[in-house]
Amino acid sequence: MLTGDAQKFYGLLFGIAFSTLLITQQMTIFVNLVQRGASGVYNAPEAEVWVMDPVSRTTDVSYAMPPTALDKVRSVKGVEWAVPHLRAQATVRTREGDLEGVAVIGVDDATLIGLPERMAKGDKSVLFAPDAVAVDDTGALNFFPSEIDPVGERLELNDQRAVIRGVADAIPSFTSTVVLYTRYSNALNFVPGTRNRLSFVLVGVSEGQTPSDVAARIERETGLKARTRDEFAQAGVNFIIENTGIPTNFGITVFLGFVVGVAIVGLTFSLFIRDNIKQFGALKAIGVTNGKIITMVGAQAGLVGLIGYALGVIGTVLFISAFSSNPFFKGFYIPWQIPLISFVAVVIILAITGLIAIRSVLKTEPASVFR
């Protein structure tokens, strides 16, 4: 049996566990990293449809619209509500005089639609105070050392005073820029003026209407571009995939994981089979069919594969949970599809290596026992 030889058994286990870990963990980080491109969409949990200028592409690559676009969208049937949403870049001067680029997000004045769902510190209503901004939690760490409480700190934005009154529990953006949330009317003052300021209109859909129907109707009636939440999140992800080398990098690593798995497992498997070739011959001599032998080897490979796969997945889970407090890994999760993909990868590795190794056994004649 395979477990009889501890060295080879643990070698196989290690090979499978290692490639599972590599594939699962790298794919997890990849998926989470590119999903950062959609963080702006997920940070505004109320919006079901995003309306923007036809040339806008993602939450961060947008072109402003005239302010009456809001009223145009509100006029469309199936739109339950629509609120203005401003996203712009600004430079901020901290109390120490440092200059830092920030993203200013202006949420609706009355309802604060567009804020992340939860606040890490303070309440959403703090934004009603004059000159109030809320900073996102990862951005706060970029801005202030962790021992300083950002709440109450004063900033200077476009010659205006801004006071941090709360910390939002937000998904960090891809670039980890500091994000300042404030009310729309404040944001207009904080961001240097251009003629049109309204970046997005966030839309809620009436009961009985689907977001995609309403988005299509908005596009037809207003001439603006409307995307459902999922479409727009996907657009953000696609933008990252198209404009960075991340997919190539992670693709190479995942491929390497696969290759390493094939190499280690294949080598160990072949050694194991070659060492036991006499036993297989003996089995054949007493009348065991090739099919039985394949089942035997397959069962053992399955056991090894299962244990190795389990160890790899446990390793990934431990890795992700160990780093979950690190701001870079904030909000990272393991999509359920990824363990399934790595399971398929393990099955393929075992199938390829097992078939290659077992070929010699199938060709062995029972007489080889006596050689």
Partner 1 sequence: MALLPRNLSFSRQILPIIAVVGVIMAAWFIIGKLPNRDTVEPAEQPPKAVGALANAPRVAGAGIVEPASEVIDIGSALSGLVTDVRVKPGDRVAQGEVLFTVDARAARASLTQAAAAISEARAAISEAMAAERTARQQLDLYRSLTDPAAVSRAEVIRAEGEEAAATSRLGLARARLAATQAAAAAARTEIERLTVRAPIAGEILAVNIRPGEFVATQGGGNTQPFIQMGDTDPLHVRIDIDENEAARVKLGAPAVVSPRGAAELHVNAAFVRAEPQVVPKRSLTNSAAERVDVRVVQLIYALPESDDFRVGQQVDAFIPAKDAPADTEG
Q: What DSSP assignment string belongs to 319-345?
A: HHHHTTTSGGGTT----THHHHHHHHH
What DSSP designation does 160 have?
A: E
Is residue 57 a contact residue for partner 1 (CB under 8 A)?
A: no
Q: What DSSP assignment string belongs to 358-370?
A: HHHHHH--GGGGG
Taking the least distance from each CB to partner 1, the nearer of 64 and 144 is 64
The radius of gyration of the chain from alpha carbons, rounded to an integer in Å, stands at: 29
Give me the 170-209 binding string for partner 1, x by CB under 8 A, dash otherwise: --------------xx--xx---x-xxxx-----x-x---
Is residue 224 a contact residue for partner 1 (CB under 8 A)?
A: no
- List the one residue from 92, 113, 127, 167 that touches partner 1 (CB under 8 A): 113
Scanning 72-80, 237-245, 265-273, 361-369 for contacts with partner 1 by CB under 8 A, the matching segment is 72-80
Residue 57's alpha-carbon distances to 1, 233, 241, 259, 276, in angstroms, are: 59, 11, 13, 37, 61
Q: Whole-angstrom Cα distance, residue 294 to residue 200? A: 61
Give residue 271's region: left, alpha or beta (phi > 0; psi -120 to 50). Answer: alpha
- List the one residue from 63, 95, 101, 111 that touches partner 1 (CB under 8 A): 111
User: Which parts of 24-43 interact with partner 1 (CB under 8 A)?
Assistant: 42
- List the one residue from 217, 244, 267, 278 that touches partner 1 (CB under 8 A): 217
Could you give the 3-state DSSP secondary structure of residue 106?
strand
Is residue 160 a contact residue for partner 1 (CB under 8 A)?
A: no
User: Which parts of 230-259 interact with partner 1 (CB under 8 A)?
Assistant: none
Give me the 116-155 binding string for partner 1, x by CB under 8 A, dash otherwise: -x------x-------------------------------
Give residue 171's region: left, alpha or beta (phi > 0; psi -120 to 50). Answer: beta
Evaluate whether 108 touches 83 at the Cβ level (below 8 Å): yes
Structure tokens at 12: 């196989």
Is residue 366 a contact residue for partner 1 (CB under 8 A)?
A: no
Structure tokens at 293: 């032998």
Structure tokens at 81: 């509500």
- List the one residue from 53, 60, 108, 136 that touches partner 1 (CB under 8 A): 108
Q: Whole-angstrom Cα distance, residue 371 to residue 285? A: 13
Is residue 112 a contact residue for partner 1 (CB under 8 A)?
A: yes
- List the one residue from 33, 83, 102, 215 that touches partner 1 (CB under 8 A): 83
Is residue 18 a contact residue for partner 1 (CB under 8 A)?
A: no
Which residues contact partner 1 (rule: CB under 8 A)?
Answer: 1, 3, 6, 9, 42, 45-48, 66-68, 70-75, 77-78, 80-84, 108-113, 117, 124, 184-185, 188-189, 193, 195-198, 204, 206, 213, 217, 220-221, 229, 303, 306-307, 309-311, 313-314, 316-317, 320-321, 331, 333-336, 339
